[in-house]
Structure 1
Amino acid sequence: MTQDVKKNRLLVLAIVVIPILVSSAARADAVTHWNRVAGDIIVDSGLGPLPADRALAIVQTAVYEATNAITQQYPASDLKLKGKPEASVEAAIAAANRATLTALVPAQRTAIDSAYRQALTAIPDDIARSDGLAIGEKAAAGILSQRAQDGTDAGESYRPRTSPGVYVPTVIPEAPHWLQIKPWLMDNPAQFRPGPPPQLESELWARDYNEVKALGGKHSQRTAAQTEIARFWEEVMPPIYHGVMRSVAEAPGREITRNARLFAAATQASTDALIAVFDAKYHYGFWRPVTAIRNGDLDGNNATERDPSWVPFIDTPMHPEYPCAHCIVAGAVGTVLKAEIGAEPVPPLATTSRAAGGVMRSWKNIDEVIQEVANARIYDGVHYRNSGEVGTAMGRRIAELAVMKYFRTDQ
């Protein structure tokens, strides 16, 4: 073999291998790896969607605090920790995840410890690892302490709007106490409470009523594509949004502290969005489509025709309709992601849905995701168009607080 041939083969090998190594390095980021692990552990723990969202915000905030304590890359911090510059960031991330997850879902200790031990096998057992573990545990303890009295354990005091002697459904609605939780970003849960839902005599109400009646029923005018969207977004657990976050975090060339910051900002915005939306839901107590459509003759609107046997495509969630919770989370997460991406090219966006059997969907930009979520809740038969628009707008406003806290303080 001639020397020129050898050189050419080595060049070809380098061209093939280098992108693989770069791609592998991007996907091996400890922040994104542990985000996926934490999401799976929390879902498997059996926590409901709201406690799961809260838990992931605590985990991701601790991860950011631990990572940034070592790199000192950004001024935004809830704890103002300073780790040793030579400490292992990967060890700090592992320790922060282990400590927060163990505190939040102790029944999952076996899975948590297994993931932790596996992570440590890739980190040299030296002083850098020890220092990283120490700062990770310190960050976790600090964030857990800050959120220990956030109101999650407040007693449920919901009372239905009725009169003595009248039957009401005996299943307690979901999370009526969630509006009492201490926000991460907002001044109070009602800070972004919207105006009331549409008047029942209005054209807007008739528009929304007839749209969900036509598209959201068990047997409806939905296309096959719309039904796929409806089934996909039936998923209520937070990892469905984290997949979209990872689409951004796993783009080539990303720095690990930047990824930690992204997840902290997005999860805090998501948690505050849910606090705000449940404040509004229980303040207004607006009826769901299944109730409205079966009682369409009682709303005083001649443009809404009753269907006493109408059934939504999915089971109706056990809380008031207005505004849309899925939509407020999509608006919040999407706004944080837009701020994170800025003028950079938008990477391919994708996530999977357990409710749809692990099916993956993809989008070209953030607005497509946000709009699809709003459409899906209509196709599901559980929300109205206006409720989606109001929820999305609320989410965007709440996310601006996260953007201000995490992204604009370093400019």
Structure 2
Amino acid sequence: MTTIADSKSNAIAVASSEARPAPPTRANSIISVLRSAAGLLLAIAIVWIVFSILTDGVFVSDRNLTNLMRQTAMTAMVAIGMLVVVVQGEIDLSVGSFLSLCVTVVAMIEVSGVVGVWGTIAAALGMGILVGLWNGTWVARFGLPSFVATLGGLMLFRGLALALSGGRTITGVSDDIRFFGEAFVTGPALWAFIAVAAIISLWPLRKLGEDSQRRRTLVRAGLGFASVVLLGWATLSYRGLPMPVAITLATAAVISWMLANTVWGRHVYAVGGNRDAARSAGIPITMHLMISFVLIGVLTSVATLMLVGRLGSAPPESGLFLELNAIAAVVIGGASLYGGTGTVSGVLLGALLMQSLANGLSLLNVPTAYQNITSGIVLMLAVYIDVLSKRGGKLFSRP
């Protein structure tokens, strides 16, 4: 006899597996490799080697790698929140404009001196919650397509930021806030951080004897441990681990664990995999969509503190194209814009690849216009690979 609980479990399983690819073919296998962590690491390695040669080794110097990690952290922080939204089949185009608004408000609070550092942090996080509720209400409650709702937010928040700042850069950020962008983790704290990261990277090996995909697990653990070794070399040979990187990696570890090991995480993938099946299973879709938009709002607020702390000011052009960079990191990292798939580790690698291209082109003094062209081409190719995976590797769609 089938119980109600069994029916719900079956519906959730159907929802979570709806977005699984078709039976493997040679084309699908190639696409799978391109979208895998190994494929991303290979692409990053090629980019690093090319830029290292073109810059006479400057690109892979410990100073530039630390710089690169700091630049990647802000995009990765927002992209982690974007992943949760995209996995559920939605999108948020307002994050760049919201970051500009939040940067402006944080700088204005700092200049006023009315509240201390904790008041500034609370104001930033509060804005993230409010903006998340705003976007979530339009999408989950009123049924507006997320593309339209957040596109309106993109224009609204950018306009508010310009109105408040008057189009001028606001300076006068305190050292307490600059801590989030300029500080380094050093000494015993850094060694402890690296040790914990190494343990996390090797943690999947604990069930190696029970795992039917041993080779995949070994490769994943090996690549993860190699990444930790590279992180340790870059940080120990320079000034330490930049605070934005430490915050981003800690956030990534928490969100990754929650997506993989909690009911909330399973429901997130189920909502994106098949919303009708998720609804039949009794999953509160409205609540999950609201949570996802609040989460990306809060993580964007954290990215705001990183940016203001690093710059020590609030430029009016802050956050320009941030939403596109975050979406690119998510898609390049293996997530599907159709929903139902994606990992935090893939997002981190996608953000690193995008920022590596930008950093290397900047070192070569390539004009910003051509950097944007490169980013656009990479994003289009990543989305095209996603589309190929959905139609069985067929290069062209039928009219």
TM-score (norm 2): 0.27
Query: In proportion to residue count, which structure has more helix?
Result: 2
TM-score (norm 1): 0.26
